[in-house]
Amino acid sequence: MTDKPMLILIAGPYRSGTNGDPQALAANLTRLEAAAWPVFAAGHLPVIGEWIALPVLSSAGARPTDPLADEVLYPTAERLLARCDAVLRLPGESAGADGDVATARRRGLPVYHDVAEIPRRLAKETR
């Protein structure tokens, strides 16, 4: 258990295995987002790199399948990891998520593979 909320990067497949299909990309994002509530319910703040990277891409007039995506998606996760306290690695092949795990380990951050491994917070927020 911990008394401080952690900022936890949820990492898993987004573009992997989709061949750029918008429905498959959306399904992968939905799987990533499904882990957000359990992380939050444990007293922490979940973040998914695509929540930040996709609007950045859109503002540049690009999509996740455009060449610019590699220059936005991976650096977004790298920058987020400079602020995160841990990573939750979801199942599935993903070079990006594997890179997130490697970065987290280099920085000494815990890497969880199941929400049940994440320590619950002791204290609740007060207003």
Residue 12, pLDDT score:
97
Q: Which domains does the chain have, with CATH numbers?
A: 7-116 (3.40.50.10400)
Find out whether 77 and 99 touch, Cβ atoms under 8 Å.
yes
Cα–Cα distance for residue pair 95/112, rounded to 1 Å? 17
What percentage of the chain exceeds 90 in pLDDT? Answer: 91
**Summary mean pLDDT of the chain:** 93
User: Residue 28: pLDDT above 60?
Assistant: yes
Q: What angle do CA 5, 92, 22 make, to 5 degrees?
A: 95
The mean pLDDT value for 26-47 works out to: 97
Enter the tokens of residue 95. Answer: 């070079």
pLDDT in tens, 69-123: 999 999 999 999 999 999 999 999 999 999 999 999 999 999 999 999 999 987 6
Residue 120 DSSP one-character state: P
